[in-house]
Amino acid sequence: FFLSLPMASRGFLFPLRRRLLCTAAPQPLAFKIERTKTNNLPVYLHYKNGRTRCVTVVKKYKGDVEVLKSHIQSVVGRQHEIKTKAAALEVIGDHKKEIDEYLEKLGF
């Protein structure tokens, strides 16, 4: 049926079929971030030193910490230090909006 169509003879159907066959499924991430009870992402701002120093904290993650750190490092920039604390990652500075948007884009 498809070969009798004039468009099939011009090659319109074959690139579409090739594109569908070559599309690979996205690779699963090595970490997972759970949402809070109110369905928000667990990214918080903490103020220290008498509210003169701002720290962005990412909590409730599971999986490979180094991969998560590299993803956050790509969002905030290489010049910002990321510290691993007990069950939390701390990024120096106010990066809540950027990290929230990035994690939303990843599907969390």
Question: pLDDT (tens digit, 9 = 90+) per residue, 20-66?
Answer: 444 444 678 899 999 999 999 999 999 999 999 999 999 999 999 99
List phi, psi (to 5°) of 61: -110, 155
CA distance 23 to 46: 42
Are the beta carbons of 69 and 18 closer than 8 angstroms? no
- Distance between CA atoms of 21 and 70, rounded to whole angstroms? 31
Question: 6 pLDDT band (50/70/90 cuts)?
Answer: low
SS3 at position 23: coil
Once rounded to an integer, what is the mean pLDDT over residues 71-98? Answer: 93
pTM of the model: 0.71
Residue with tokens 């996205």: 26
- Residue 98 tokens read as 């950027």
